[in-house]
């Protein structure tokens, strides 16, 4: 069964390889001649730092998200976006921010870097997103913000989350690292809360290598976030050293070195132009996986909810040893032996020693996140996968599970 054309030729480091011999890298980006040409043009322009390509990328992203250009700020990572957004929100020191335990450590680290206190609320076991009822139960007099994560590209229940935020006068900062294409009831993810924070890391749906974007509801707050992201200066290098002549700047706050470079934006501009084509390719792969794994003793991703658009960033399967006959880590090792890369998204945050020492957390306090984190495996879902790659993944999964039962 053909599921559409691959987004790259079967070439690795300049050498043609047999498909069955090549290691399938988990989350490998789909890079074409358009990205290469734009990067070359950037290098030849002499302007590599923050400049005209970053401005174009911001404008293109704002248009994609149906927002004005004054409401976005490009930064060097989603972690930076989260950190700067919390500082720009003006939350008082040690205020509590409620977030999910089923996320990458950067979500919690950004809260701590902003001088705030993370509070975890368990996830819904079906959607794997933060449970609004758990958010409500976690609110205390010190709660000032909610940080929902649109896990794997599935939108959180933003109607219920925003209702909670309005009733308790809370800031909402959406972690949209997985959710560039995601919508909830027709509205793009990242446009519900006060801030939406996006990732363009090398494994994400739009790639700049490293990079992020802040989308803000309030123009004054986003202007502050932009200023904080470059040392707290009133002008960036493009405006100081451009052909209009040198412009003096002032340091308005003690900021950070979080700016995006034109070299990154040069990759991102063609990537953003391909975002819909890449989403359709991942949708075809997702549907093929659903069909191929329907009869296996593993947990598959729940179907997208009505009136939503799933970003289709991660295809996670649940490996329960009692049903599968193999442990999750045993499955990971077997897939690696088959020369197929996989991921774990994620071990629950309280599984990690640092957070246990820092906050006294135990994984058992959030049982749904604990179970999911101990069973989850993310399979390759890049738009760069060929049909042959996809069938190799399917064959390996089926072979490993048949041998285990």
Residue 119, CA atoms < 13 Å, CB-side half-sphere: 18
- Asked if residues 172 and 60 have their Cβ atoms less than 8 Å apart, the reply is no
Please give the Cα distance from 237 to 230 (Å, whole number): 10
Please give the Cα distance from 303 to 314 (Å, whole number): 13
Task: Please name the residues in contact with 38: beta carbons below 8 A apart, sequence gap of 6 or more.
Answer: 53, 266, 267, 269, 270
Dihedral over Cα of 16, 34, 383, 379: its sign: positive
Within 118-205, residue ranges assigned H as helices are 132-138, 158-168
Instruction: Single out the catalytic residue among 204, 219, 235, 274.
Output: 204
Grouping H, G, I as helix, E, B as strand and the rest as coil, residue 130 is strand
Is 219 tagged catalytic? Answer: no
H/E segment holding residue 202 = none
Vertex 101: Cα angle to 167 and 72 (nearest 5): 65
Please give the Cα distance from 192 to 189 (Å, whole number): 7
Nearest to 200 by CA among 177, 219, 216, 222: 177
> Does residue 346 have a cis bond before it (omega within 30 degrees)?
yes
In angstroms and rounded to an integer, the radius of gyration of the C-alpha atoms of the chain is 22
- Asked if residues 254 and 224 have their Cβ atoms less than 8 Å apart, the reply is no
Residues acting as catalytic residues: 204
């Amino acid at each position: 069964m053909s599921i559409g054309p691959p987004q790259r030729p079967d070439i690795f480091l300049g050498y043609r390889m047999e498909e069955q011999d090549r290691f399938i890298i988990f989350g490998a980006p789909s890079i074409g001649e358009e990205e290469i040409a734009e990067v070359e043009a950037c290098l030849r322009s002499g302007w590599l730092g923050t400049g005209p390509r970053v401005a174009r990328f911001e404008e293109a992203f704002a248009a994609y998200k149906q927002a004005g250009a004054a409401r976005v700020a490009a930064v060097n990572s989603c972690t930076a976006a989260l950190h700067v957004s919390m500082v720009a929100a003006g939350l008082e020191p040690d205020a509590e921010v409620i977030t999910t335990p089923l996320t990458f450590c950067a979500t919690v680290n950004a809260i701590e870097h902003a001088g705030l206190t993370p509070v975890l609320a368990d996830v819904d076991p079906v959607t794997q997103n933060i449970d609004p009822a758990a958010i409500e139960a976690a609110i205390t007099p010190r709660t000032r913000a909610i940080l929902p994560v649109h896990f794997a590209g599935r939108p959180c229940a933003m109607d219920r989350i925003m209702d909670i935020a309005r009733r308790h006068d809370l800031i909402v900062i959406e972690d949209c690292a997985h959710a560039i294409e995601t919508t909830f009831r027709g509205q793009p993810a990242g446009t519900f809360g006060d801030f939406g924070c996006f990732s363009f890391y090398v494994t994400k749906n739009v790639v700049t290598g490293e990079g992020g974007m802040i989308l803000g509801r309030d123009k004054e707050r986003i202007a502050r976030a932009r200023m904080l992201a470059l040392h707290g200066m009133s002008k960036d290098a493009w405006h100081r050293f451009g052909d209009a002549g040198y412009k003096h700047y002032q340091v308005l706050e003690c900021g950070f070195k979080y700016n995006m470079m034109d070299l990154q934006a040069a990759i991102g501009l063609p990537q953003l132009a391909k975002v819909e084509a890449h989403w359709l390719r991942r949708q075809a792969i997702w549907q093929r996986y659903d069909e191929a794994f329907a009869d296996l003793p593993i947990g598959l991703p729940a179907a997208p909810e009505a009136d939503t658009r799933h970003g289709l960033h991660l295809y996670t399967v649940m490996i329960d040893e009692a049903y599968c006959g193999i442990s999750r880590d045993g499955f990971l090792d077997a897939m690696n032996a088959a020369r197929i890369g996989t991921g774990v998204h994620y071990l629950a945050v309280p599984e990690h020693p640092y957070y246990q020492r820092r906050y006294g957390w135990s994984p058992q306090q959030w049982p749904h996140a604990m179970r999911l984190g101990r069973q989850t495996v993310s399979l390759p879902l890049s738009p760069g996968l060929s049909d042959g790659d996809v069938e190799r993944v399917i064959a390996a999964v089926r072979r490993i599970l048949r041998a285990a039962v």
